[in-house]
Amino acid sequence: MSEFLQQLINGLSLGAIYALIALGYTMVYGVLRFINFAHSDVFMVGAFVGYYAIEKWHLPANSIGGGLLALAMAMAICAALGVLIERFAYRPLRGRSTLSVLITAIGVSLLLQNVAQNRQIGFGPNPKAFPNLFPYSNFHLGALTVSSNQVIVLIVTLVLLAALYFIVNHTRTGTAMRALSFNPTAASLVGINNDFIISFTFALGSSLAAAGGILYALNYPSIDPLMGTLPGLKAFVAAVLGGIGNLPGAAVGGVVLGLVETLVVACGGSTYRDAVAFGVLILILLVRPSGLLGKAEREKV
Amino acid sequence: MLARSQYYLLAALAASFVASLFSGSFNSYFLDVAVTCGINITLAVSLNLINGYTGQFSLGHAGFMAIGAYSASLLTTNFGGKLLPLVGGQTWIFFPLALYAGGVVASVAGLLVGVPTLRLRGDYLAIVTLGFGEIIRVLLQNVDAVGGARGLIGIPDYTTLFWTFGLAAITVYTVWALVNSTYGRGFIAVSNDEIAAEAMGINTTRYKITAFVVGAFFAGLAGGIYAHFKQYIAPQGFGFDKSIEIVVMVILGGMGNNVGVIIAAILLTVLTETLRQFGDYRMILYSLLIIVLMIARPQGLFTWTGWKRKSA
Amino acid sequence: MKSLKRNLFFTALAAVALALAGCKPSSESKTGAADTIKVGEFASLTGKEAAFGQSSHKGTLLAVEEINAAGGVLGKKIEFIYEDNRSTPGESATVVKKLITRDHVVAVLGEVASGRSLEAAPICQANKIPQISPSSTNPKVTETGDYIFRVCFIDPFQGTVMAKFAKSRLNAKNVAVLSDVAAPYSLGLAQYFKETFLADGGTVVSEQKFSSGDKDFKAQLTAIKAANPDAIFVPCYYTEAGLIVRQARQLGITVPLFGGDGWEAPELIQIGGEALEGCYYSTHYSPEDKSPAVQEFVSKFKAKNNGEIPDAMAALGYDSAMVLADAIKRAGTTDSVKLRDAIAATKDYAGVTGKTSLDANRNATKPAVILAIKDGKFKYVETISP
């Protein structure tokens, strides 16, 4: 029983991170209807900003203030990066087939990975040890062990989710985002500046990816230029699982995926983990073709 | 009397046969790049049938390739000793049979993926096909009989220029003939407007399944050619990245434009090699070029007329 | 906007054309010169395994520079031509063909990953060009043929060493094994470890697996904890080992974890931190080794690479080039058959990774060193000879 509870905690903390990254995929999908492949690499850049904040720019490690500051820096820098990517790689293709944008997104993803791997202009290919941003300790509840980082992951995820919920549902910009997602042409007719809203969405999504990157690195303190690929793919799955374009769906999808993966491994199926994760996804989509919380879209005739 | 397109096919087959006779005098590095081009053409054109002509977004093409590669290689490597004498020790009979078997297994997989996923559209289909490709990879990695993660070694060196480009020519011809037949107009109809197509009495389901089965068949053949060329295959080689690579060729070449897709397949294959001279900056330049080319020609590099296709 | 796009397009096309054109002259200039000895290397310089590939590459590069600074071999400088394979299956075969048929190298060095060495081996064998792998430990690699060599020990040896070590030093009877299902290296080592350990009367109480690139091992470790082993064998690369040890300690696992040469890298301690205290691993070499040869190598490597400490891959990369140069000197020629024989005759070559001799199966027989991690430093425990 205690092993099961322990695995449940492990699964939740993994799922929370998937959820954060999945939100970025889903938001971009909501407004632009395409899969932003570069998202997982923005996630990687976020983790590296956190690393440099402590190691090179000498923010205090092991302190709540320093940790939060590093988190804020990563979110700000990645927000800017997201806006830049949108401006130069995606906007020139606005109005074109979303598949062309998909290819530039793949291009941007490859570009970020390869620049990051480059020794002269990037971080170099060797994995780096991620510093402890926050004070660290383990809590023991009976036979269960919870690390402070796992708690931080859950708290930060919940805070960010709440903030996102507020922005999307209770601010003018958020309302505009929803309007744009509903109908871009109509949105621009009622005076919404679509360019600005799309930039804003990218900033928001990328800053969430950065937060995800930092939290991921806190729990798994080894960072490298390709660290985004696998969690990015999983988060993408989570977003689709929950119903792509649907914000609560992405959060639910992330948690479900994290739990499924952890339970598969716990039952001794570690070598089939990814296969089972995808198998579950396929089964769910066969029963609910628009994901767990996605609305079935009626195509207009 | 043969149709003009059939003359083209025969000419292409003859040309690859003649080229194959002289392959000994080519530098083996160039030969390698040429064969890779041929394999990529087959892969890209077969995916073009699914993604381009039928408008279904598949991200699992490498999975079909893997199935074909492993099936054909298991036949030639493990059972070659028993089966080869049955055809009189003639590899030129045995190899295509093994390839064909690989293609058939891959097309069965195509059917298995095609049927249940027909309810899904666009990105949902993409993620399911992607998941399918990954499942194949994970399964192969876990089966010791095919070498597991270490891969399958000791595959005989059967691939020649003739098999590679002969297959590429047949693939191009088949896809062309299929799409341009009266029957095949249905593919484009499904791609342009599924609902309208259905309303016109077109069995969209059958077209989608046909596209998956035919596409998977040729991807499986390409996998067999690849395996008997590199003489070594490993599950990691058929991952998500490989599928993406093929998708890039199709979209960059212009969806539903075979000539463009062929040129894009050659261009991207040759580009990865010629960019070697830039050393550490090779892949950076490669990715920059993809972005710039796509922005400059969003309709596809080699689509010059203005006809637009509805996206998935 | 339209004209900007058109300009972009033509710039891109021009770049492509330049790239295509650029490769022609280089091939012609490369074939002409005979006053150098050409040595090729293929490595994972980008992609998933770039950390190992780059490390090994830097070691090899250092060796070549040293050889050339000392006047080269047979009175000629070594011209070192290296190619990247993006850590992708399929590309090694292509680049090795390029190295052999276009650059006309006399020997090929590479690779770290056994999978990619296996891919290049049939080509080197068919062209009768000796291939020396610095650190592919899977036994299959050199079985390809008599032109394929390696300068490291193989998995069966290392697996046996660790099984004996677990039994005699750690007094472990019940051991758990956590291996990487996507890495042939890890699977091989786990298998040979188990064989010896079971034959010696030990028990493997839990066997868990993960897949390269995973970062979360808590599920596997929780299961291992429940099996209550005396020690945990973790044959994998340092990229995962640091995290595994850390997560094991977080879950309250206190027994020692131990691994193989994949653990050897300064990053291990940076990633694993305090959690690594009391863990062990076997390796080819240790930068802490006080022998003059090792210390000289470490200081030269650091001087060249911004103070980076060389790991085991770098040391083996260095030795692979040195063994080749030594063989060319002894052969007195770069004729492929004679060079092959000279490499095969390598005996007691004093390299950075210890005395290297090649056996009849073209594998290096050399001692394994066992290190412990104590006070955040690698501490020498013992040397086990074959």
DSSP letters, C343-370, are HHT--SEEETTEEEEE-TTS-EE--EEE
Task: Assess C108–B contact: CB distance below 8 Å, yes or no.
Answer: no
- The domain segmentation of chain C, as residue ranges, is 33-153+293-366, 155-283
Pick from B274, B32, B269: nearest CA to C27 = B274
Inform me whether the pLDDT recorded for B312 exceeds 50: no
Task: Assess C89–B contact: CB distance below 8 Å, yes or no.
Answer: yes
Q: Do C6 and B289 lie within an 8 Å CB cutoff?
A: no
- Taking contacts as CB-CB distances below 8 angstroms, the residues of chain B near A29 are 123
pTM: 0.90
Q: Could you tell me the end-to-end alpha-carbon distance of chain C, in angstroms, rounded to an integer?
A: 70
- The domain segmentation of chain A, as residue ranges, is 2-227
Place of tokens 């903390």: A13
User: What pLDDT is stored for residue C29 in this prediction?
Assistant: 41
**To the nearest whole angstrom, how far is the Cα of B230 from the nearest Cα of chain C?**
7
Q: Closest CB to A129: pick one of C5, C250, C270.
A: C270
- Taking contacts as CB-CB distances below 8 angstroms, the residues of chain B near C26 are 277
User: What pLDDT is stored for residue C16 in this prediction?
Assistant: 62
**To the nearest whole angstrom, how far is the Cα of C181 from the nearest Cα of chain B?**
7
Show which subunits contact B, needing at least 3 CB pairs below 8 angstroms: A, C
C80: which strand partners? C39
- Bigger pLDDT: C195 vs C378: C195
Show which subunits contact A, needing at least 3 CB pairs below 8 angstroms: B, C
Instruction: Kindly state the helix (H) or strand (E) to which residue A245 belongs, with its residue range.
Output: none
- Bigger pLDDT: C34 vs C184: C184
In angstroms, what is the C-alpha Rg of chain B? 19
Half-sphere exposure of B48 toward its Cβ, with a 13 Å CA cutoff? 32
Nearest CA in chain A to C183: A271
Q: Which of residues 24-53 of C touch B (CB under 8 A)?
A: 26, 45-46
DSSP letters, C5-53, are HHHHHHHHHHHHHHHHHHHHHHHHHHHH--SEEEEEEEE--SSTTHHHH
Lowest mean pLDDT across A93-102, B240-249, C22-31, C360-369: C22-31
**To the nearest whole angstrom, how far is the Cα of B227 from the nearest Cα of chain A?**
24
Calculate the CA A119 to chain-centre distance: 26
Q: Do A125 and C54 lie within an 8 Å CB cutoff?
A: yes
Pick from C60, C44, C61: nearest CA to C111 = C44
Q: Closest CB to C9: pick one of B36, B282, B296.
A: B296
**What's the complex ipTM?**
0.89
Q: Closest CB to C101: pick one of B28, B157, B236.
A: B28
Residues in chain B: 312
Tell me the pLDDT of chain C averaged across its residues.
Answer: 88
Specify the pairing of strand C148-150 against strand C354-358. Answer: unpaired
Question: How far are the Cα atoms of C288, C353, C357 from residue C369, in angstroms, in the given order?
Answer: 12, 10, 16
Residue type, C83: E
User: What pLDDT is stored for residue A19 in this prediction?
Assistant: 93
Q: Do B311 and A272 lie within an 8 Å CB cutoff?
A: no
Pick from C179, C218, C243, C304 the residue to mutate for testing the A interface (most A CBs within 10 Å): C218
Nearest 5°: the CA angle A196, A202, A205 is 140
d(CA C317, CA C306): 18
d(CA A228, CA A39): 8
C358: which strand partners? C364
d(CA A63, CA A67): 6
User: What pLDDT is stored for residue B219 in this prediction?
Assistant: 97
The first and second tokens of residue C168, run together, are: 């005699």
Task: Assess C216–A contact: CB distance below 8 Å, yes or no.
Answer: yes
Pick from A120, A117, A88: nearest CA to A105 = A88
What CATH number matches the domain at C155-283, 2.40.50.140, 3.40.50.2300, 1.10.3470.10, 3.30.590.10?
3.40.50.2300
Half-sphere exposure of B80 toward its Cβ, with a 13 Å CA cutoff? 20
Cβ(A245)–Cβ(A23) under 8 Å?
no
Those residues whose C-beta lies under 8 Å from the C-beta of residue B127, and which sit 6 or more positions away, are A236, A237, A240, A281, A285, B59
* Residue pairs between chains B and C whose CB atoms are closer than 8 Å: 117
Give phi and psi for C82, each to the nearest 5.
Answer: -125, 150
- Taking contacts as CB-CB distances below 8 angstroms, the residues of chain A near B247 are 102-103, 106
- C33-153+293-366 belongs to which homologous superfamily? Response regulator (3.40.50.2300)
Question: How far are the Cα atoms of A106, B108, B282 from residue A168, in angstroms, in the given order?
Answer: 28, 46, 41
User: What pLDDT is stored for residue C48 in this prediction?
Assistant: 83
Is B143 buried (19+), middle (13-18) or exposed (0-12) by CB count in 10 A? exposed
Inform me whether the pLDDT recorded for C386 exceeds 90: no
Q: Do B138 and A272 lie within an 8 Å CB cutoff?
A: yes
SS3 C180: strand
Give the relative orientation of helices A39-55 and A98-117 as an angle to the nearest 10 degrees: 30
Q: Could you tell me the end-to-end alpha-carbon distance of chain A, in angstroms, rounded to an integer?
A: 54
In angstroms, what is the C-alpha Rg of chain C? 22
d(CA B277, CA A230): 30
Q: Do C187 and B285 lie within an 8 Å CB cutoff?
A: no
Highest mean pLDDT among A72-86, B238-252, C261-275: A72-86
Those residues whose C-beta lies under 8 Å from the C-beta of residue C377, and which sit 6 or more positions away, are C269, C288
**8-state DSSP, A247:** H
Task: Kindly compute the dihedral angle of the four CA atoms of residues C290, C291, C295, C297, in this order, to the nearest 10 degrees.
Answer: -150
Q: Do C19 and B236 lie within an 8 Å CB cutoff?
A: no
Q: What is the pLDDT along chain A (301 residues), one digit of tens a residue?
A: 677 888 888 899 889 999 999 998 998 888 888 889 899 999 999 999 999 999 888 888 888 888 999 999 999 999 999 999 999 999 999 888 888 888 899 999 999 999 999 988 999 888 899 998 888 888 888 778 888 888 898 899 999 999 999 999 999 999 999 999 888 899 999 999 999 999 999 999 999 999 999 999 998 889 999 999 889 989 988 998 898 888 899 999 999 999 998 888 888 777 888 888 888 888 888 888 888 887 766 555 4
